[in-house]
Chain A
Amino acid sequence: QKEVEQNSGPLSVPEGAIASLNCTYSDRVSQSFFWYRQYSGKSPELIMSIYSNGDKEDGRFTAQLNKASQYVSLLIRDSQPSDSATYLCAVNQAGTALIFGKGTTLSVSS
């Protein structure tokens, strides 16, 4: 059973701090890794994708991938209250599906 594991949280950080979200996956053949953000009562939206080992930066967001450790992370710098949401880690499965983790709930206090 291919799995994606995340700490469900909640993760609480003060405004302006760095939020660090972590994810591990079980399927070594996975090639594509994604972070989705889901606001309460809303649908998921893609915020980051990463395919190769190392870091990928997009504005205040940095995704990190370590395939040897089967580990993906998302760093959010200068966290804002508007970043408060559930962050879903997703990994591609051979074929047409994404496997999602349960999500980590982030709360940024002002």
Chain B
Amino acid sequence: ETGVTQSPTHLIKTRGQQVTLRCSSQSGHNTVSWYQQALGQGPQFIFQYYREEENGRGNFPPRFSGLQFPNYSSELNVNALELDDSALYLCASSLDPLAATITGELFFGEGSRLTVL
């Protein structure tokens, strides 16, 4: 158990709909990173939030957006869902922004599995 919780664990949406995924970070961690993991692929970086601001973004379109709250929890929003958005969405918390890349100490939640029909 990493102390990182994500909700919902599974959900099914149809093309064009919008989805919000939630993540509570581990106690003491102020940084949250979101990754998308398609079936049979490694996780792909979506973006990172630090102190309620986006602090780096991967190659994802603007319809992927996020928020971080004062308690460091975070949301990932995806608008205009496409079939290719079907994936496991992983939230990972870390002590600070550089901890994720210097020490690799990313603590992942169990993920939200999104299916888009």
A and B physically associate:
yes
**Residues of B contacting A99 in the complex (Cβ-Cβ under 8 angstroms):** 45
* Interface size class of chain A, counting residues whose CB lies under 8 Å from the partner chain: 20 to 34
Which residues A3-52 have CB closer than 8 A to chain B? 4, 6, 8, 32, 34, 36, 42-46, 49
Q: Does B62 contact A (CB under 8 A)?
A: no
Q: Are the CB atoms of B42 and A4 closer together than 8 Å? A: yes
Interface, chain B (partner A; CB < 8 A)? 2, 33, 35, 40-45, 48, 50, 55-56, 58, 90, 97-98, 100-106, 108-111
**Residues of B contacting A36 in the complex (Cβ-Cβ under 8 angstroms):** 104
Q: Are the CB atoms of B100 and A43 closer together than 8 Å? A: no
**Residues of B contacting A44 in the complex (Cβ-Cβ under 8 angstroms):** 43, 90, 106, 108
- Residue among B33, B48, B103, B109 facing the most chain A CB atoms (10 A cut-off): B103
